[in-house]
Chains A and B, each alone.
Chain A
């Protein structure tokens, strides 16, 4: 159960022989994720951590028939790698890579939409359905299986909050990082929809940050649809100045748009509990469920 991935997910790792690709393949395997093949052009025929390596996704798919892929290839080639996955029938693509040009991401998302594929990221820690499958770089031990769906634009802040939830016995159904870039595959609304129809998910934690208006749109969606499950939100960046990019490519207040205040107000108006500090999320959740 959970969303996007579960214990039956069969994944490729694109860029499996790089430092990160190799390191996290090991961790994902340890977590129990079914990594069925890895891709590194020029390294086909070898293997790493017992996973066979192919030169192309096409070859890998002939042998492994994966349904998901996680991408660690450098930014200049990452959109290309994602397209390679899509063209070879893979419908779930997690892009860990940061610093992908906007133009590449825009082009990729248009094609993914046509292919009816789900892109998680780019610039995401990935996605984990605790106890079933982890396609990402998040530390495993902070998660435990449960009823809280988490969706976030941030990595470590999510770990911070997830660890707090786990400590307080709020296990998670799935924890999904949308990614810190301005253009990402999924947005809050997409993910809220998935959590709405996931039986395991009893409540949702939504972690937003400054930049764009995806949180405001999510708030409106929650209010308009009378969202069926309790939602707790946290928004990072109350103290961020205008015009400065706060680490993430997507985290920037432009003029008066994209401020934390605007997002917090939108959620409050929509009846969503908004935590003041990361640690407060767990307490608010306890009150709601």
Chain B
């Protein structure tokens, strides 16, 4: 087993990996940019190295710097988390050259699956159904227009190197195509340093179901059942759960088998995920394979009891998987809500800033994977994720009730968060009934929300008025003695009952 691991990431996922290492007795090395000096990952690690300015392209994305720190610190392995260098085959190549173990699949597996077009080709060849579309990146604007018209609108533009909703645009009609293409390419360029995009037919009312996989160097594979991630905004997952309400045992077994075949085709090692779109008739189409730890891995951990990060580390060290397929049990139901520093009432605009107070939920069946603390300034440079809140219940009903309970306990002030949004989703009839698809948030939820009557307007107004009242009095108290500093004005104040106490 490794004695020391470098975690080439920040925020909640760096903390997640640090926790696994600490529990395994492995020493940890954190890297941090100038704005992250006080971040939790720096404080939880055994060692921490500064790697440059805030911009990720000058710090967390610089391969040379990460490799240099790994060597200086004597780290034998690097865990890339998700994002940043996690699916960068050049980084995987470099680690191999430098004889540092990258905790993840081979560069070959990354390249094959990382290019969505090659991945589609590979999987299609193995007989797995894929969504109609191009299998090559599209070179010119003319081609984009031509192919889009061939497949027929609506179409999806997707970054070849993409992930996490970046570089992705839904185009409903030809008039939107040009500007969407520009945005998708520009986002792709800045997120992945690669602006190539491809086109897919857009499937109406699809549900997003994915299979979590683990593989080792010895050719063993297990799947850890499915997660459903249909609750999305801007094509980015915000709520995930396991099991999925639409997946039957037969479907689970079939999808698991297909996913393992896909993994086997690239001799996949470590943790990975095959994503599928499922249409209204429960047909599933391979979408892509994520060759990294997923943001939403905790829901699978909650229902299976398997620590996916520890398994990643073990197989990277050459060990065999500690579980066989028949040991995998999906017990109860887990839901994850991604808590972002965003304003859900203003189209999820990012709201970085200082966390002025924080109260995390606790009690039975609740897990919070957080990267912030009271007094932390959420930087503008990175993903605005605050934490991932996960609730487990013996069934979906209990999991939803528990999640709602935990969300109402969760207090984050100073920045706007998606917590209120999640509470409203947990209260939504369609969500509770399991009746939704990937368009649910944009198309159904917000419309229903607009019509909902709010109950406590009086209490809101009363409390705000009291706060204003006290603030005004405080200001008055602070100014008055200075302005007319005579004893008379002081006396005048002190005779008004109750005033002094609270000034």
Answer yes or no: do A and B interact: no
A residues within 8 Å of B by Cβ?
none
